[in-house]
Structure 1
Amino acid sequence: MKWAGTAVAVCLGMSGFVVSPDARAHPHGWIDLSVRVITDDQGMVSGLHQTWRMDPFYSLVVFEELQQVENASLEEGLDQLGKEIRDNLAAQHYLTEVSINGEHQALGEVSEYTAMERDGRLTFMFILPLEAPQPLTDAMLSYQVFDPTYYIEVVHEEEGGQPRDDALILHGEPVCELSILPADPDPELVMQAALLDKDESGEPGLGRYFAETGQVDCR
């Protein structure tokens, strides 16, 4: 069992994502996201600890297929799946962009990750390091996590229609203001996304305009 190597297949590639024949709007699946920004006592940020919870329907499909793999336990299947997710995400820069004071940050390679079943959802957790730690004191870090084709929507964990308090947290120094800014796409782009058929993906880059922005303002 292998996941295909496209951006779409990062989360939906094992069986494909089945939607109603009448479904015409984008996206076709979603991921609930939470982020912990990792800093040390000197205020140096080293990376983002991300937790992705795949949507319930896709999670069910994954677990059913893993259980059908001969001579392998669910735990073994999840271990293999986690490695394949990591490898596919690496080719897509982990679907993450990070900047500090508006300057794009190079990312390192993910070596710490795990895939698990949690409350009936496939959950993928990983630490995405910056290529080099950067000072966060008197600076602002921002990030976006998105599928460039917008086949999959990535949104921070919500409660009552608003991001949860633990959807973005900071452990360490300095003391900063945390916020999650909603996407504000142009109406023409919204129409473009809605017109895509159930088996279509948008042009690369479309997902950026629908991405929430996490901000850690330490200025």
Structure 2
Amino acid sequence: MLAVSGVLISAVPSAALAHPHGWIDLSVEVMTDADGNATALHQTWRMDPFYSLVVLEELSQGEEANLDEGLDHLAHEIRDNLAAQHYFTEVRLNGERQALGEVTNYTALARNGRLHFMFRLPLAKPQPLKESELTYQVFDPTYYLEVVHEAEDNTVLDEALTLRGEYDCTLNVEPADPDPELIMRATMLDKDEQGEPGLGRHFAETGVVACR
């Protein structure tokens, strides 16, 4: 697993930097409107256990510590930091990259000892799903952070990718297939180093919503 991204690090206490590796378990719900257009990706990021432990412990420290207020502040900072990186998300419709809107609906929660960051990422314009293929990737460009869909025994869970609404669509999460040379370069990165911009794309899973 790879280290927590600097984009997220700037929003959390400095003690979290002590751990050199981190990852996110991802689930995505593709949201639609009444006309069958895709409107947004509702994402849930479940942070790795160590990262979650450190952050939640620090947010709970102090005589007047308020965990809920701390989580609200943390969510705001994470949202602001990710905005400059397009929320680590690329969306395409029939191969054409789609513009994204601004995230205004977001929250951070603590569940079963894990930190969850949940947000609704709108498309700039609703896009028709009928006879179309919508794909997305969620990744840290420098691969300082690993993002993988929720899975059990190396099998992606059905709830890792869902579609809101009744449509004739097939949902699938395609695994990454990086070149062996890229894998070697990534494994040789020191715990304090980032990969070159764009490296993370090669390790990103691809969510696919193919509709008739």
Scaled by the length of structure 2, what TM-score is found? 0.93
SS of the residue corresponding to residue 177 of structure 1 reads: strand
Is the counterpart of residue 48 in structure 1 residue 41 in structure 2?
A: yes
Report deviation, 1:206. 0.3
SS of the residue corresponding to residue 84 of structure 1 reads: helix
Report deviation, 1:69. 4.8
CA RMSD of aligned residues (A): 1.4
Q: Which residue does the alignment assign to 1:11?
A: 8
Deviations 1:150-209 (A, max 9, x none): 110000000121100100000114220000000000000000001111111100110000
Q: Which residue does the alignment assign to 2:60?
A: 67
Separation in structure 1 between the aligned mates of residue 183 and residue 164 of structure 2, nearest angstrom:
36
Q: Which residue does the alignment assign to 1:37?
A: 30
Aligned with residue 133 of structure 2, among 140, 143, 166: 140
Aligned with residue 120 of structure 1, among 80, 95, 113: 113
Report deviation, 1:78. 0.2
Aligned with residue 81 of structure 2, among 82, 85, 88: 88
What is the count of residue pairs matched by the alignment?
A: 206
The change in CA–CA distance for 1:69 and 1:145 in structure 2 (over 3 A counts) is: farther
Q: Which residue does the alignment assign to 1:166?
A: 159
Separation in structure 2 between the aligned mates of residue 11 and residue 126 of structure 1, nearest angstrom:
15
Is the counterpart of residue 149 in structure 1 residue 142 in structure 2?
A: yes
Separation in structure 2 between the aligned mates of residue 112 and residue 56 of structure 1, nearest angstrom:
25
Residue type of the partner of 2:134?
L
Separation in structure 2 between the aligned mates of residue 82 and residue 133 of structure 1, nearest angstrom:
26
Separation in structure 2 between the aligned mates of residue 137 and residue 153 of structure 1, nearest angstrom:
32
Q: Which residue does the alignment assign to 1:57?
A: 50
SS of the residue corresponding to residue 193 of structure 2 reads: coil
Residue type of the partner of 2:197?
P
Is the counterpart of residue 211 in structure 1 residue 208 in structure 2?
A: no
SS of the residue corresponding to residue 17 of structure 1 reads: helix
Separation in structure 1 between the aligned mates of residue 111 and residue 17 of structure 2, nearest angstrom:
20
Report deviation, 1:72. 3.5
Report deviation, 1:70. 5.5
Deviations 1:113-168 (A, max 9, x none): 00010110000000000001011111000000000111100000001211001000
Separation in structure 2 between the aligned mates of residue 133 and residue 149 of structure 1, nearest angstrom:
29
Residue type of the partner of 2:30?
V
Scaled by the length of structure 1, what TM-score is found? 0.90
Separation in structure 2 between the aligned mates of residue 144 and residue 169 of structure 1, nearest angstrom:
15
Separation in structure 1 between the aligned mates of residue 43 and residue 37 of structure 2, nearest angstrom:
18
Percent sequence identity is: 66
Separation in structure 2 between the aligned mates of residue 120 and residue 147 of structure 1, nearest angstrom:
24
Instruction: Give unpaired runs (5+ residues) of structure 2.
Output: none
Q: Which residue does the alignment assign to 2:100?
A: 107
Residue type of the partner of 1:9?
G
